[in-house]
Amino acid sequence: MLDKIFKSKKKIKEEEIFSPLTGQLVPLEQVPDPVFSEKMMGEGVAVIPEEGVLVSPVEGEVVQVFHTKHAIGIKSVSGLDILLHVGLETVELNGEGFTVFIKEGQTVKVGDPLLNFDISFLRNENKEIITPIIITNYSDKIDEIVHVDQQAVLRGENLFVCSLR
């Protein structure tokens, strides 16, 4: 019965992506890693975090928690695949400096805590803390993204609005 109710809902036309971090917004093209800056993974933005708290940018389901704790994948209610990648080359830390609060298959809403990370530790390990927020299935799902026009962002503030196909 519930399946019929949910399937009969009108198709979502746009989805807002909210900031999972407090910090400075950076265009993806300026991320010092070509995998992100050349948009090989997808479209999005990056944030240079001011505090080590990462929350969900959307309502959806956690589909991947990397065993190294540095990255999380979420499928939003409209079907967007979102990758949150804390820092650059942080995979090499094998989870050190990260505390994860969620697990795969868990439902999350905007603002739910996903993980904490120790910015001082990451810097001491010579890791970039810039954090890309990527829609990996952008070309399949999105017609247009409208980014906010600001430099600083607070957790929970709008990052961009996606017009869906």
Q: Tell whether the model's pLDDT for residue 69 goes beyond 80.
A: yes
Predicted model pTM: 0.90
2 assigned to some structural domain:
no
Determine, yes or no, domain membership for 7.
no
146 domain-assigned: yes
Number of separate domains in the chain: 1
Instruction: Write the CB contacts of 135 (distance below 8 Å, at least 6 apart in sequence).
Output: 17, 42, 43, 44, 80, 81, 82, 141, 142, 145, 162
State percent of the chain over pLDDT 70: 93
Catalytic residue of the set 67, 70, 85, 147: 85
In a domain, 1, yes or no: no
Q: Could you confirm whether 70 is annotated as catalytic?
A: no
Predicted confidence (pLDDT) at residue 2 exceeds the cutoff of 60? no
What CATH number does the domain containing 124 carry? 2.70.70.10
142 vs 115, higher pLDDT: 115
Host domain of residue 97: 14-164
The answer to whether residue 3 is domain-embedded is no
pLDDT of residue 1: 44
Decide if 95 is inside a domain. Answer: yes
Residue 94 falls within a domain, yes or no? yes
Which residues is 69 bridged to in the sheet? none
Whether 163 has a pLDDT exceeding 80, the answer reads yes
Query: Which residues have C-beta within 8 Å of that of residue 88, sequence separation ≥ 6?
Result: 31, 32, 33, 127, 128, 130
